[in-house]
Amino acid sequence: MHSPLLLSPRRTTSTVLSQGPSIRRDALRPMCRRRCLTATLAATVVAVLAACEGSLQRVEPSGPAAKTMPGRLQHVVLVDLEDDADIPRMRADSDRMLPAIPTVRGYVCGTHVEIGRGNIAKDYDLGIIVQFDSVDDYKAYLEHPIHTQLVATWRPKWRRSYIVDFAP
């Protein structure tokens, strides 16, 4: 009975195969599979990058209201509007109004970016992230007249929304 084959970085598949029938060939299968998969993956990545060169779009936060995202509390709102024609107007109102609230530490608003992943939510029109330094700042934002005006104007036009608040 032969002992299992031990492969070292210096021991390649061709070296092992040249050693003759005393080597268990089934011990080579995992190594060959990994190398084939790695080579196939590398070739696929190179081919995709070459095909995409020149057609890639840089995604940047839009509008003059976009800020960096330095806050400690994250308020994420995904909105699906009844009428897609309202998307640019709600986005413009959000860009204009929300950063003007004094307790807002960071803000960004945008639309879904399709990259071909099946497990990414696509059932929304606008994504909004608002950041705050504290829970008290967030509560002040919720009651601020600019926020309540924006919500009063746009909530009736939402088909649905999904809101998540978290702290890193």
Same domain, 45 and 124: no
Same domain, 31 and 90: no
Q: How many domains does the chain have?
A: 2
Higher pLDDT, 21 or 117: 117
pLDDT tens-place string over residues 101-124: 999 999 999 999 998 898 988 899
- What is the Cα Rg of the chain in Å? 27
Same domain, 97 and 153: yes
| Residue 130 included in any domain | yes
pLDDT tens-place string over residues 81-95: 999 999 999 999 999
| Residue 2 included in any domain | no
Same domain, 46 and 77: no
118-140 CB burial, b ≥16 within 10 A, e <16: eeeeeebbbbbbbbbeeeebbeb
Give the Cα separation of 73 and 70 in Å (integer).
9
Question: Tokens 């095909």 appear where?
Answer: 51
Give the Cα separation of 141 and 92 in Å (integer).
19
**CATH code for position 123:** 3.30.70.100
Note if the pTM is more than 0.85: no
Give the Cα separation of 146 and 129 in Å (integer).
16
Same domain, 80 and 160: yes
Q: What range does the domain containing 156 cover?
A: 73-166
Selection from 97, 82, 76, 92 nearest residue 156 by Cα: 82
Same domain, 78 and 20: no
Bridge partners for 73 per DSSP: 132
Same domain, 161 and 111: yes
Same domain, 32 and 83: no
Other C-beta atoms lying within 10 Å of the C-beta of residue 63: 15
| Residue 105 included in any domain | yes
Same domain, 145 and 97: yes
Same domain, 26 and 80: no
